[in-house]
Structures are given as structure tokens and as C-alpha cells.
Homo-oligomer: A and B are copies of this chain.
Amino acid sequence: RRARPVREVLFFPSRPCCIETLLAEAAEPGVPARPCPCPLPSGDTALSRLVRRLLSARRSLDLCLFSFSCPQLARAVQFLHRRGVRVRLVTDAQYMGLHGSQIGRLRHAGIQVRHDQHSGYMHHKFAIVDRRMLITGSLNWTAQAIQSNRENVLVVEDAEYVKAFQDEFERIWEEYNPANYSFFPQKQ
């Protein structure tokens, strides 16, 4: 029998927290994780809840993120990739090269990344876990947003909303196919 669909709202700013225990538990479920020696507390925060939702991925993780510079969220995404989850990431061309961006690191790790070539922003901030759970809101995946801004994230396990966002993801994924990139100066 299926569990009740997830319905959650997370508000930020989040207290800083260590996510090493969450990663260790995800790597070896059932084995109590050794406490991390870092000075950050490892409590229940908006960030730890967001990470938990991401780490529940078993097959796929589709990310559509304007800005991605939070090292902790990048660690969670890399962990899933190493584990065999199919990660696809769409991002904004103007923001992916900024100082602190995690996009290069994720590409180096072998994760597929596509970006726009427009002057308009790819301003979405959503994730879809296993084509089943939608995580969306105002939150850019940056340490500044997580720790300092008033932000919201909705977690929705609802086929109708998930389908609308999955379709949008597939449209963008195809539109940003590198085969379509132009490497010549654009006309003004």
C-alpha cells in the first residue's frame, strides 16, 4: 500500500547545518552514521529537509536551476550521480560561470548539463525526483539564498503538477541540446 503523497512547504532562511550524516545514512541505510567532526549542528532544518527529499531519488533527478552555487546541494547531487541515479541539469548561461558556481564541478563529475543561449534568463528553480516528486519555489540553490533570504520551496507529489513541470523540463532539455548551440557571434 502506497504511503500518503508528500506535501511539504519549506521556508528559508535555514539555520546552517551539516549534511554529512544525511549523506552517510543514504550511503549505508540502517548503519548508524558516525558523528561529523565539523562544528555545524546537524539538526532538522529547511536545508536538511530539502536534502533528504533529493536523496530519496532512486532512478532520476531532473534539475532546472537558474543559479547553483551551494556546495552542500552539489555534494548531494554528486552522491546521487555516483550511485547511478540519472541526473540531468539545465541552467542559465549567464549565471553558470559566476564565481562559486558548482556547474563546472558537476560537469567534471560527469553530470549532463545543458544551458540556454538567450539574453533572457532560464529562471526556473525546480527539481523532479523519479518523475514523481516536484520540488519548486523561489529558492536559488546558493548559500546566500539558503542562509540569508526569505524563500519558499514547495514539495508536491501530485501527478498533474509533476507532469506539467516534467513536460517543461523535456521541452527545455531538447531546446538546449548542444547540437543546436551556435558558436558564431550573434547578430545584434
Interface residues of A (CB under 8 A from B): 7, 9, 11, 13, 66, 116, 118-126, 136-139, 144-145, 147-152, 154, 160-161, 164-165, 168, 172
Contact = CB atoms under 8 A, between A and B. Distances in A.
Given A11-B168, A168-B152, A172-B150, A138 B124 contact: yes
A123 B136 contact: no
- Classify the interface of chain A: helix, strand, loop or mixed: mixed
A172 to B, nearest CB: 7
A136 B149 contact: no
Contacts of A148: 118-121
Q: 8 closest pairs, A vs B, by CB?
A: A120-B148, A9-B164, A123-B149, A121-B149, A120-B149, A122-B150, A123-B151, A123-B138
